[in-house]
A and B are shown apart, each in its own frame.
Chain A
């Protein structure tokens, strides 16, 4: 079967750095994606890792280790607008399967 695990909630202070981890078990794996979703909004794509290593996009970075079935999303210089839910999603057998999400609360 397939499973994804990520923390349910994370709290951090404005300007700080936060890391959201994701571990997965699946067959036919081809990549790990991250999405952001604000309350009442649609998920929006943040990043995608098909190969091991770090991908950087502005304040956000994403990391993948295929051998460890593990990835993380790193958010730097946190802003209040970063308060949202973050989902990891594994590409498996040509489907994108989402985790249950991590709710990030950024405090002043």
Chain B
């Protein structure tokens, strides 16, 4: 069964350092999402891609976060510099289209900023 792949699973970094997360969606899924989930809360949408284009990044802290999906397949989310408040689970998801309620999530990348 196809899965969304994410790496790394765990990342510990010091504040002010740079960190990057990678996501490979299910083959053929045009829509890719990055969500951030703080412990005890629901996932918060950071950025949404349709193919290689950003269609929503209204909640992305653009002074320190960036995301790209250059060839419309895999994607990278970067944080520079990391802050203590960035400690969270970063979840990547994909879907066949934009108007769907069924997202397929990866296992996530848990970030701890010291």
Contacts and interface: CB of A to CB of B under 8 A. Distances in A.
Interface in A8-63: 30-33, 41-45, 48-50
B45 A101 contact: no
A43 B43 contact: yes
Range for the number of chain A residues in contact with chain B: 20 to 34
Interface residues of B, number: 23
B101 A96 contact: yes
B101 A42 contact: no
B75 interface: no
Contacts of A42: 91, 105-108
**A interface majority secondary structure:** strand
Interface in A60-108: 87, 89, 91, 94-101
B34 to A, nearest CB: 12
B102 A48 contact: yes
B101 A98 contact: no
Interface of A: 30-33, 41-45, 48-50, 87, 89, 91, 94-101
Interface of B: 33, 35, 40-45, 48, 55-56, 91, 98-108
Given A45-B101, A98-B35, 16 more contacts: A31-B101, A33-B103, A42-B105, A42-B108, A45-B102, A45-B103, A48-B102, A50-B101, A87-B42, A91-B99, A94-B48, A94-B55, A95-B45, A96-B101, A96-B103, A98-B43
